[in-house]
Each structure stands twice: as C-alpha cells, then as structure tokens.
Amino acid sequence: MEQQMRAVTKRIRIALAILGLGLTLSACGYNTIPTLQESAKARWSDVQNQYQRRADLIPNLVATVQGFAAQEKTVLTEVIQARAQATQIKIDAGDLTNPDKMRAFAQAQNQLTGALGRLLAVAENYPDLKSNANFLALQSQLEGTENRISVARRDYIDAVRLFNTSLRTFPTLLWARTVFAGTQPMAEFQATEGSERPPVVKF
C-alpha cells in the first residue's frame, strides 16, 4: 500500500513538473518568435495578394483606354512593361530576410504605380473615356485595390517590426540566441516616401 502511494505521489510530481515546465516555456516567450514570424509571413501574403489583384485589373484598364485613346501608345506600353516587370519579381517566405530582393520588389511596384498614374492622367483628356461604364467600374476597383494595398503594407510593416523587436528584447532574446539561433530579422518593406497614402485616382 505504501509502495502504491509512493508511485502515485511520484506520478503526480512528474505531471506537475511537466505542467510547470510547459507553463514556464509559454510564459517566457518561447512561442513568441515563431508566432510573430508566421504572422509576418501571413501579412506578406496579404501584400502580394493585393498587388496581384492590381496587376489583374491592368489588362482590362489598358484595353479600355486603348479603345478610346489608341494614340497614347507610349503610356500604354509603359504600363504593360511595368506590369510585366512587377509580376516577374516573386518574393516567397524565405526571401523576407533578404533586403535586396525586398527593395527590388518595392521598386518594381513603385514603377508600376508611376506608370498607372501617367495612364490615368492621360484619361483626363478623353471625356468619352471618363464617362464609359467599364472604365468607371475599373476606376472604382483600382481605387479600392490601392486602399487595400496601403492597409496590407502597413499591417506587414507592423508585423515585421514586432518580429524583429522580439529577436532583440528580453526574454525572447534568449530563445533567439539559442533555440532559434538561425532566425534572421525580416527585411522591412521600403516603400517610397508618401506611398503609405494610396494615390488619388481622379476621373
């Protein structure tokens, strides 16, 4: 009987030790680094999704403008080329720690934004185009997409800031230097000045 009591007591102590260890690990920041890393990756997926949405709108926009302003070949070509370049640069989760790739991605997207701005400025010269139902629908979708891009970029920047901070602050710093020693800070999305505000799309 006494031996059974000792065995039960020993099992209870082991269970309490395991529970205590689990609580200690969860309270000391062990899960913080992978949690914040996955959050930043998810936010990056949102950014890419919104840029892809914009890229998908461009062929219809170009075709509509071309129907009314075919003589604006230079601007139309610029938009098509900028879209092609922007969609060629792919950033996967493994590239988020590479500042050069992130910079190249941001530059390609900024070139596309500039080309789109020039295309929309040209549209101002064509009243028939500005009143076209298809063009108005595309304008509305483009405006909404630019707003979503702005929000997605902001959310990604915040997520990366939290993740990078966790690698340099206590107590997660201890885990970053031991268990997660190979984890690199993520590159921040370096958008051009003023890009935190979506472009004003006027028709």
**Looking at the structure, do residues 133 and 63 belong to the same domain, yes or no?**
yes
**Looking at the structure, do residues 55 and 78 belong to the same domain, yes or no?**
yes
pLDDT of residue 25: 52
How far are the Cα atoms of 26, 178, 179, 195 from residue 97, in angstroms, in the given order? 26, 19, 18, 22
Unique residue bearing structure tokens 């992978």: 34
**Looking at the structure, do residues 1 and 58 belong to the same domain, yes or no?**
no
If one counts the domains in the chain, the total is 2
Quote the crossing angle between the two packed helices 73-88 and 32-68, to the nearest 10°.
Answer: 160
DSSP state of 31: T
Mean local confidence (pLDDT), 174-200: 74
Domain containing 22 equals 1-30
**Looking at the structure, do residues 26 and 44 belong to the same domain, yes or no?**
no
- On whether the pTM is more than 0.75, the answer is yes
Per-residue pLDDT tens over the stretch 37-65? 999 999 999 999 999 999 999 999 999 99
**Looking at the structure, do residues 20 and 77 belong to the same domain, yes or no?**
no
**Looking at the structure, do residues 19 and 51 belong to the same domain, yes or no?**
no
Lookup: tokens for 13: 């102590």
Whether 199 is covered by a domain: the verdict is no
